[in-house]
Amino acid sequence: MNSVGEGCTDLKREYDQCFNRWFAEKFLKGDRSGDPCTEMFKKYQHCVQKAIKEKDIPIDGVEFMGPNKDKP
């Protein structure tokens, strides 16, 4: 799967691999120890935010129905 910024796809895939591993092996098993993907995410984000600005994608200030705050 690609990133919205063509040059960001490699950074994205690296981050996704890290996240998916943490999500499956730590988060879902109740392990709240630190997120090992923070640095990777920062690099990836820097690239994506630049691409969003360049393509003028309107990500800010959008209201939409949020998830229910009340638990069922």
Closest contact distance (angstroms) between CB of 28 and another protein is 5
- Assess contact for 42 and 8: CB atoms under 8 A: no
Q: How crowded is residue 37: how many other Cβ atoms within 10 Å of its Cβ? A: 19
State the DSSP string of 6-27.
GGGHHHHHHHHHHHHHHHHHTG
36-65 residues in contact with another protein (CB under 8 A) are 41, 44-45, 48, 52, 57-59, 62, 64-65
Contact residues for another protein (CB under 8 A)? 1-5, 8, 12-13, 15-17, 19-20, 23-24, 27-28, 30, 32, 41, 44-45, 48, 52, 57-59, 62, 64-68, 71-72
